[in-house]
């Protein structure tokens, strides 16, 4: 009779070791899922910040020629919300291998200006910045070109 009871009791539930092992597996799985989610949230926040910086840059570039004069040597500083920006305008210089655009600009009376924009945000030591650059063509002598 004792032998039959031992079989009945052994198949009736989980041992403490099995429950602890199941809990450890669950805890490790949960920790892995939480790490993946926190990484995903960090990446989403980072993507939002860079997208907003690009929108600020587009807004500043759109102001060129309207609110900001496009002149060689001009420097502008500003801010938009949590983002600070610095715009520098200088004469465009081709690299040594490709001088065709500068030569063409000189022949046609066009001045090529390089526009560099740095948008920065955040507090040190976690501050970030993004660099944008473009080239704008301007007529050298507007009076002669018009008449």
Instruction: Return the bridge partners of 115, or none.
Output: 89, 134
Q: Are 117 and 60 in contact (CB under 8 A)?
A: yes
Q: Is there a cis peptide before residue 48, judged by omega within 30 degrees of 0? A: no
Segment 46-64 mean pLDDT = 94
Higher pLDDT: 105 or 21? It is 21
Distance CA 80, CA 63 (A): 13
- pLDDT confidence tier of residue 6, bands split at 50, 70 and 90: low
Is residue 3 predicted with pLDDT exceeding 60?
no
pLDDT at position 104 = 79
Q: Within a 10 A sphere around the Cβ of 64, how many other Cβ atoms?
A: 19
pLDDT at position 146 = 40
Distance CA 130, CA 94 (A): 23
Distance CA 72, CA 138 (A): 10
């Amino acid at each position: 009779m004792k032998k039959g009871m031992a079989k009945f009791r052994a198949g009736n539930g989980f041992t403490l070791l099995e429950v602890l092992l199941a809990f450890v597996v669950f805890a490790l799985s949960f920790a892995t899922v939480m790490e993946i989610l926190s990484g995903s949230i960090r990446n989403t926040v980072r993507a939002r910040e860079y997208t907003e910086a690009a929108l600020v840059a587009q807004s500043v570039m759109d102001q060129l020629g309207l609110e900001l004069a496009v002149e060689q040597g001009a420097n502008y500083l500003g801010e938009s919300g949590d983002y600070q920006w610095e715009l520098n305008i200088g004469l465009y210089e081709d690299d040594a291998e490709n001088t065709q655009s500068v030569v063409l600009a000189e022949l046609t009376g066009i001045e090529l200006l390089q526009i560099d924009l740095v948008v920065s945000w955040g507090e040190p030591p976690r501050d970030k910045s993004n660099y944008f650059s473009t080239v704008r063509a301007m007529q050298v002598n507007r009076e002669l070109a018009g008449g």
